[in-house]
Amino acid sequence: MKNIFCIGIGLIGGSFAIDIKKQHPESIIYGISRKDATLEKALELNLIDKKATLDDLNNADLVIVSIPVDATVKLLPTILDKISDKTLVFDAGSTKEAICKVVEHHKNRRNFLACHPIAGTENSGPTAAISDLYKGKTNIICEVEKTTFHLQEKALDLFRAIGMRIRYMDPVSHDKHIAYVSHLSHISSFMLGKTVLAKEKNERDIFDMAGSGFASTVRLAKSSPAMWAPIFNQNKENVIESLEEYINNLQKFKELMQQDNFSEIFKEMENTNYIKQILNGIK
Ligand code: NAP
């Protein structure tokens, strides 16, 4: 694999660039982004070897698309227009239905693999890129049967080489499940941050009193709105459904408090402790 193009060279694209370069030191990593300053930063950090544009894509062996999901929906058909027969294109978007749909009938659909690496941090941009982000993490692949077999194999070799596990799912199930385990946790964290900020106008008090519980629960509220707003938009129905269930649970908790029903509150928490076994199992 010689010519690798990263469209979007932030946390996800930059981290792929680092790990793939380790596996393929002979490769040339090209960066494509909206802002020249982002590409300059990526060059300075050695994430990419050269700057490029979409018109250079006919040279690509591999194209990794790691830009916000609304930009992916807009740009992916053009990317597929510009590649050659041998090119593998995969995306990393956190939603899958809209992305798969927009290229459903594209003549080069078989060159595209729809992916969602379940790996990340709350940081963004090229400076957030880190080595080994994907080690031991799951990559969810959707509609694998729509990708040409030898390109599937090429992608799987690459993902395994950087330490990823693979799971297959259809895009509709992906978006439904991910609303609960990822999108809802981000909203919950953003709104926890908002609630505490509104109450504690004096930021010093927050920092003085914040324990590791607050810091870890509110960590996701540091995430980029530019990345998350399009995700909530594309997965609106599922996110609203998950929010309704979450709000019902919060409401019920509040009512139990108002009724002084602390034995029921104890039971609710004890039942939810079961999450420990599940999380230990997926470590
Ligand atoms: P990020 O760190 O903010 O990087 C995204 C980069 O995309 C930005 O540096 C931005 O560069 C560039 N970009 C934005 N719009 C663009 C456009 N229209 N054309 C070309 N470049 C554009 O975000 P990220 O965390 O890497 O996320 C990238 C993708 O991975 C998203 O689809 C996200 O859903 C998915 N993902 C994220 C995570 C996570 O935890 N962060 C996990 C799994 C999947 P400029 O400065 O040039 O605008």
Question: Which of the pair, 277 or 31, is modelled with greater confidence?
Answer: 31
Distance 259 CA to ligand 1 centre (A): 46
pLDDT tens figures, 38-52: 999 999 999 999 999
H-state helical runs in 144-235: 149-161, 171-178, 184-199, 203-209, 212-218, 225-234
Domain boundary among the residues 123, 141, 169 is at 169
CA distances to 78, 88, 239 from 148, rounded to whole Å, are 19, 9, 32
What is the distance between the alpha carbons of residues 53 and 99, in angstroms, rounded to a whole number?
21
Q: How many domains does the chain have?
A: 2
- The confidence score (pLDDT) of residue 145 equals 98
For ligand 1, what atom is nearest to the CA of residue 15? Answer: 26
Nearest residue CA, atom 15 of ligand 1?
67
Give me the mean pLDDT over the 269-280 stretch.
90
pLDDT above 80 (res 190): yes
- Domain with residue 70: its CATH number is 3.40.50.720
Q: Tokens 């010519």 map to which residue?
A: 3
pLDDT above 70 (res 120): yes
3-state secondary structure of 195: helix
Q: Are 221 and 192 in contact (CB under 8 A)?
A: yes
Pocket test for ligand 1, best of 7, 43, 66, 220 (most atoms within 8 A of CB): 66
Domain boundary among the residues 169, 204, 235 is at 169
pLDDT above 90 (res 199): no
What is the secondary structure of 226-251 as a DSSP string? Answer: HHHHHHHHHTHHHHHHHHHHHHHHHH
What is the distance between the alpha carbons of residues 54 and 59, in angstroms, rounded to a whole number?
10
Q: Which of 21-35, 128-142, 180-194, 200-214 shows the lowest per-residue confidence on average (mean pLDDT)?
A: 200-214
Nearest residue CA, atom 18 of ligand 1?
71
Domain boundary among the residues 137, 169, 201 is at 169
pLDDT tens figures, 126-179: 999 999 999 999 999 999 999 999 999 999 999 999 999 999 999 999 999 999
Let me know whether 145 and 230 are in one domain. no
Let me know whether 25 and 128 are in one domain. yes
Range of the domain at 33: 3-169
Pocket test for ligand 1, best of 33, 47, 90 (most atoms within 8 A of CB): 33
Q: Which of 30-39, 124-133, 173-182, 269-278 shows the lowest per-residue confidence on average (mean pLDDT)?
A: 269-278
Nearest residue CA, atom 38 of ligand 1?
120
Distance 135 CA to ligand 1 centre (A): 20
Let me know whether 221 and 257 are in one domain. yes
- The confidence score (pLDDT) of residue 206 equals 75
- Domain with residue 211: its CATH number is 1.10.3660.10
Give me the mean pLDDT over the 169-196 stretch.
96
- The confidence score (pLDDT) of residue 281 equals 72
Decide: 129 in ligand 1 pocket, CB within 6 A: no
Confidence grade of residue 283 (pLDDT, cut at 50, 70, 90)? low
Let me know whether 159 and 34 are in one domain. yes
pLDDT above 70 (res 282): no
pLDDT tens figures, 208-267: 777 888 889 999 999 999 999 999 999 999 999 999 999 999 999 999 999 999 999 999
- Of 104, 175, 117, 93, the closest CA to residue 146 belongs to 104
3-state secondary structure of 266: helix
Give me the mean pLDDT over the 9-14 stretch.
98
Let me know whether 110 and 18 are in one domain. yes
Let me know whether 135 and 183 are in one domain. no
Let me know whether 160 and 192 are in one domain. no
pLDDT tens figures, 73-105: 999 999 999 999 999 999 999 999 999 999 999
Let me know whether 241 and 202 are in one domain. yes
Pairing of strands 88-91, 112-117: parallel
For ligand 1, what atom is nearest to the CA of residue 120? Answer: 40
What is the distance between the alpha carbons of residues 135 and 133, in angstroms, rounded to a whole number?
6
For ligand 1, what atom is nearest to the CA of residue 39? Answer: 47
Let me know whether 165 and 245 are in one domain. no
Q: Are 10 and 66 in contact (CB under 8 A)?
A: yes
- The confidence score (pLDDT) of residue 208 equals 77
For ligand 1, what atom is nearest to the CA of residue 35? Answer: 47
pTM, full prediction:
0.94
165's enclosing H/E stretch is strand 165-169
Decide: 31 in ligand 1 pocket, CB within 6 A: no
Let me know whether 16 and 117 are in one domain. yes
Let me know whether 244 and 143 are in one domain. no
Let me know whether 140 and 183 are in one domain. no
